[in-house]
């Protein structure tokens, strides 16, 4: 099979109506933070058991087309001995892998950060592919203040994202390009719009410079939303978030991009579902709008699980419900009343 056909097949499997991605790619420090909320330590067995629980959820493949994994998970097995990437495939879920190596301060740009991990990436991708990964993910992070992010940070992160995406496509791996404008801070939705527009413009310029084939990538952006410390009065309505997010995408994202899958970024699970739903009620758009949530999918089942095998079935039910509601949101059919009740 040619590399182009391989990429197309993977994109077709990832971008399907009414389906989204499960982001289960928390690095060591992040998963430790999540586990702390349920009072368990982060050791290899708990991490394996949690990711096994997620991937073995009966029926998950009806609403989830792909899962983003962390390197460690690629080599782990289920309780029944099945390699976890294989377990995902058995559910009709495409396995992917987070390949960035996290962020560090950007030199000469106080307050800005740059994502690292390009050195040796081609070699690592070859190994991940052997372990079953068909797509990859790289996250660039932009802090907002009246002066941040700097032009330097916007350009440097765009260049790294594009370089990563080009390396992935050469390897037959579909890149998820994830520029995250953080919700942290007290900024207005207008400032979030301004920064997101500048970031996405620069990202797509860089992707063009690096000859990335837009049809063979997926965009994972943040929504345009007021800062989480902005105070209740400054918070925008669901309709405003939807309108401003779609407005910024229309200005910056070429129609050739097949799928846009949002991160949840610290929104509550219900908020993330409602915002996605409102966007999908705004009429026909050039790209499918779906989800690639981490916290907004995992928080409720994590609280139900609490690290106990006896709670696994209930936790899976909770996960399936969130996945189903987000699937409804992909069609603009979600109603708040659907939150009540079990199933």
Which parts of this chain interact with ligand 5MM (CB under 6 A)? Answer: 23, 25-27, 30, 68, 98, 102, 139, 180, 263-265, 293-296
Which is nearest to 24 in space by CA: 293, 311, 325?
293
Structure tokens at 229: 């410390």
Confirm if 314 and 304 have CB atoms less than 8 A apart: yes
Structure tokens at 20: 């989204």
The least distance separating ligand 5MM from the CB of residue 296, rounded to whole angstroms, comes to: 5
The least distance separating ligand 5MM from the CB of residue 242, rounded to whole angstroms, comes to: 17
Q: Rounded to an integer, what distance in angstroms lies between the CA atom of residue 187 and that of residue 245? A: 16
Beta-bridge partner residues of 179: 140
Nearer to ligand 5MM, 6 or 187 (CB): 187
**Which residue's CB atom is positioned nearest to ligand 5MM?**
294
Q: Rounded to an integer, what distance in angstroms lies between the CA atom of residue 157 and that of residue 166? A: 14
List Cα–Cα distances, 121 to 136, 144, 166, in angstroms. 11, 29, 11
Q: Rounded to an integer, what distance in angstroms lies between the CA atom of residue 88 and that of residue 224? A: 31
Nearer to ligand 5MM, 83 or 266 (CB): 266
Task: Give me the catalytic one of 19, 137, 220, 321.
Answer: 220
Nearer to ligand 5MM, 6 or 25 (CB): 25
Tell me whether residue 328 is one of the annotated catalytic residues: no
Q: What is the DSSP letter of 331?
A: T
Nearer to ligand 5MM, 227 or 294 (CB): 294
End-to-end CA distance of the chain: 42
The least distance separating ligand 5MM from the CB of residue 116, rounded to whole angstroms, comes to: 11
The least distance separating ligand 5MM from the CB of residue 310, rounded to whole angstroms, comes to: 26
Task: Give me the catalytic one of 6, 26, 178, 328.
Answer: 178
Tell me whether residue 178 is one of the annotated catalytic residues: yes
Catalytic residues: 178, 220
């Amino acid at each position: 099979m040619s590399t182009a056909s391989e990429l197309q097949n993977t994109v077709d499997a990832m971008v399907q109506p009414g389906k989204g991605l499960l982001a289960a790619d928390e690095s060591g420090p992040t998963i430790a933070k999540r586990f702390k909320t349920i009072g368990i330590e982060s050791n290899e067995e708990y991490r394996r058991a949690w990711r096994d629980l997620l991937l073995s959820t009966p029926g998950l493949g009806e609403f989830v087309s792909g899962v983003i994994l962390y390197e460690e998970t690629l080599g782990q097995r289920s309780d029944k001995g099945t390699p976890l990437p294989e377990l995902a495939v058995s559910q009709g879920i495409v396995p992917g892998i987070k390949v960035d190596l996290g962020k560090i301060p950007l030199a000469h740009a106080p307050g800005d950060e740059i994502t690292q991990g390009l050195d040796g990436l081609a070699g690592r991708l070859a190994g991940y592919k052997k372990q079953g990964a068909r797509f990859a993910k790289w996250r660039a992070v932009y802090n907002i203040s009246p002066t941040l992010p700097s032009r330097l940070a916007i350009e440097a992160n765009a260049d790294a994202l594009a370089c990563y995406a080009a390396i992935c496509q050469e390897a037959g791996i579909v890149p998820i390009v994830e520029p995250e404008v953080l919700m942290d801070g007290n900024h207005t939705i207008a400032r979030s719009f301004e920064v997101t527009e500048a970031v996405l413009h620069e990202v797509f310029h860089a992707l063009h410079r690096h000859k990335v084939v837009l049809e063979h990538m997926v965009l994972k952006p943040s929504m345009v939303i007021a800062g989480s410390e902005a105070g209740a009065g400054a918070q925008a309505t669901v309709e405003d978030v939807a309108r401003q997010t779609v407005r910024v995408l229309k200005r910056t994202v070429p129609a050739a991009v097949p799928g846009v899958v949002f991160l949840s970024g610290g929104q509550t699970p219900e908020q993330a579902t409602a915002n996605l739903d409102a966007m999908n009620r705004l009429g026909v758009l050039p790209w499918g709008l779906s989800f690639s949530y981490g916290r907004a999918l995992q928080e409720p089942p994590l609280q139900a699980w609490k690290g106990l095998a006896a709670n696994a079935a209930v936790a899976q039910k909770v996960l399936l419900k969130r996945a189903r509601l987000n699937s409804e949101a992909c069609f603009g059919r979600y109603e708040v009343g659907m939150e009540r009740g079990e199933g």
